[in-house]
Amino acid sequence: MNKKSLVLQDFLFFITTFLIFIISISLVLTYSRKESDDNLVHYSEIVLALYDEENNDYSEVDKTFNESIDIRVTILNGSNGDVIYDNNPNYNQEENRLNEFLNYADKGIYEKYSLTLNEKMFYLVRSDDSNYIRVGILKSEVMEVTNNIALYGSISLILLNVIYFILSYLYFKKNIDTLKEEVIKLDSLVNPQSFIKDFDIQDLKNTMSKSYTLINEQINEVKSEKEKYEFILNNISEGFIVLDLNYNIIQINKYALNIFNKNFNEVYGHNIVYLYNASNLLNNIEKMDKTFKSFKEKIDERIYEFEINKITFNNINLIAILFIDITNEENTEIMKKEFFANASHELKSPLTSIIGYQELIKEGIIKDNNEIKNISEKTLKESIRMKNIVLDMLELSKLESKEVKEIERLNLKEIIEDIISSNEVLIKQKNIKITANLKDFYINSSFEDIQKLLSNIISNAINYNNINGEIELILKDNSFICKDNGIGIKKEDLPRIFERFYRVDKSRSKENSGTGLGLAIVKHICLNYHYKIKVDSKFGLGTTFTIIFK
């Protein structure tokens, strides 16, 4: 409420009380008029009863009224207008009252200035056969009560209004002062540059509405910052958890919740052990001598790198934990190590035997020409195997680096037929029967890759087959099937045959100049071209490879 409305409110209060006052005054006036009317009628009744008209005896009237100063009683002769009786001895003898008496006779109360009493009077005239009786009372008498009420009423009314105004002003000022203090605080909070120390009502209103807008903007800003922060936190591919010093979870992102298959409400405020068996994490936190520590931990077959940070936020000490799934990196690292160990081992053994043979020849320990020829054949075979290993390793590294190759439209049927004829010697040696059920089938690919893919599978079917074995090659409906009835692969070896250098039977592989990298190359080509590869094998019965092209 401002000052204007305070004044308006007071004005309304005044008008209301004034109206009530006026109504009360008029009610009192009406009542006192009625009272005086009743009195006049009553006095006239008494005069009529006391006056003996027949004998013109007004002694009883006189007895009753001659001492009444306030009541005037006059009896008039109706035929000549002479005053028969008047309780005021000073009445004017000369005044002609007949007309007045005739005019007002039995017509109710009327007002008239009395020349006798020099005052305004209320009169009532009653006719009594040939005479008239008039009773009158002082108007001032009637009005006195009303005047008193009006006077004291007005004074009380004004006093009441003044008190009301002062009280409401004090109340208003007290509230406004409190409000001002709060608004100044609010203003300095939302607008630190503000130097306002005092306001009028309009300023107060403006400041409040400005503060409202500012607060609203700031709330929206905070909201959007919070949303942004939550969005980022929930979309990073790292787990993020914040603990208090009692290890209770006070913040956790979606990634972390998904890993432990929990939802926010389930874990919020609970100890970290409620999320998972965090003994290792807690040990690490307890052993922290600096504000940062990192360690690796395996959880449900995945390896995570944990980073613990001791942080202070708003004077509260907290523990922030960030963890990343490093399973793939770790596995790649392990694979790399294994690969180098295997590769060096694979190359070392043929080299050792080559060097050994050459030393025997050099030292003259082996002199026999036939033996030397035999050793030369062996070292040549080992060298070819070494060369094959190196070529296969190069091939694998090319495939891994996704080197861009020339893509051609290739008929798989023709490539398969070429592979069969290039293996003709071995097929004949082992007397293997090949059934080729091939339809023309075209794909867009690098010739080199497709040739490698198919020849590795077909040569394995020949190499790991028995004498007089059989191979069925089918090319239809987007797929290539190579089915042999060879030695087969044991169930436990089957998942590992695509690993680098993995060979079920090392000596047999060596015999075939196998490198142990053929199927690793096959797997890589399929990965690069999104081909699907399946193996079915029964140990001792045979193996079927199926490749489904896109």
Residues that bind ligand ADP (CB under 6 A): 456, 460-461, 464, 484, 486-489, 497, 502-505, 509, 514-520, 543
Measured from the CB of residue 309, what is the shortest distance to ligand ADP in angstroms?
A: 46
Measured from the CB of residue 434, what is the shortest distance to ligand ADP in angstroms?
A: 14
Measured from the CB of residue 456, what is the shortest distance to ligand ADP in angstroms?
A: 6
Q: What is the dihedral of CA 522, 528, 529, 534, to 10 degrees?
A: 40
Cα–Cα distance, 408 to 298 (Å, whole number) = 46
The smaller minimum CB distance to ligand ADP, of residues 239 and 486, is found at 486
Measured from the CB of residue 473, what is the shortest distance to ligand ADP in angstroms?
A: 12
Measured from the CB of residue 403, what is the shortest distance to ligand ADP in angstroms?
A: 21
- Give the residue from 342, 354, 351 showing the smallest Cα distance to 393: 342
Cα–Cα distance, 501 to 262 (Å, whole number) = 42
The smaller minimum CB distance to ligand ADP, of residues 19 and 541, is found at 541
Residue 315, C-beta contacts closer than 8 angstroms, at least 6 positions apart: none
For residue 496, what is the DSSP state? G
106 in the Ramachandran plot: left (φ > 0), alpha (ψ -120 to 50) or beta? left
Measured from the CB of residue 482, what is the shortest distance to ligand ADP in angstroms?
A: 8
Rounded to the nearest 10 degrees, what angle do helices 447-463 and 412-422 cross at?
50
Q: Is the dihedral of CA 386, 389, 395, 400 positive or negative?
A: negative
DSSP 44-92: HHHHHHH-BTTTTB-HHHHHHHTT-SSEEEEEEETTT--EEEESSTT--
Residue 544 bridge partners (DSSP) = 483, 536
The smaller minimum CB distance to ligand ADP, of residues 74 and 509, is found at 509
Instruction: Tell me which amino acid residue 169 is.
Output: Y
3-state SS assignment for residue 269: coil
Which helix (H) or strand (E) is 137 found in, with range? Answer: strand 131-138
The smaller minimum CB distance to ligand ADP, of residues 239 and 488, is found at 488
Encode burial over 399-409: b for 16+ CB neighbours within 10 A, e otherwise: beeeeeeeeee
513 in the Ramachandran plot: left (φ > 0), alpha (ψ -120 to 50) or beta? left
- Phi–psi pair at 273, nearest 5 degrees: -65, -20
Cα–Cα distance, 520 to 389 (Å, whole number) = 12
- Find the angle CA(405)-CA(407)-CA(412) to the nearest 5 degrees: 120
Residue 119 bridge partners (DSSP) = 114
- Give the residue from 489, 522, 485 showing the smallest Cα distance to 505: 489
Measured from the CB of residue 475, what is the shortest distance to ligand ADP in angstroms?
A: 17
142: tokens are: 């009637």
Measured from the CB of residue 483, what is the shortest distance to ligand ADP in angstroms?
A: 9
The smaller minimum CB distance to ligand ADP, of residues 249 and 526, is found at 526
Measured from the CB of residue 392, what is the shortest distance to ligand ADP in angstroms?
A: 8
Measured from the CB of residue 530, what is the shortest distance to ligand ADP in angstroms?
A: 21
Cα–Cα distance, 390 to 261 (Å, whole number) = 46
The smaller minimum CB distance to ligand ADP, of residues 319 and 457, is found at 457
The smaller minimum CB distance to ligand ADP, of residues 135 and 457, is found at 457
The smaller minimum CB distance to ligand ADP, of residues 20 and 341, is found at 341
Measured from the CB of residue 505, what is the shortest distance to ligand ADP in angstroms?
A: 6
Residue 248 bridge partners (DSSP) = 271
Strand ranges (E), 178-300:
239-243, 249-252, 292-299
The smaller minimum CB distance to ligand ADP, of residues 136 and 486, is found at 486
The smaller minimum CB distance to ligand ADP, of residues 473 and 487, is found at 487
Cα–Cα distance, 123 to 37 (Å, whole number) = 9
Measured from the CB of residue 460, what is the shortest distance to ligand ADP in angstroms?
A: 3
The smaller minimum CB distance to ligand ADP, of residues 137 and 497, is found at 497
The smaller minimum CB distance to ligand ADP, of residues 446 and 515, is found at 515
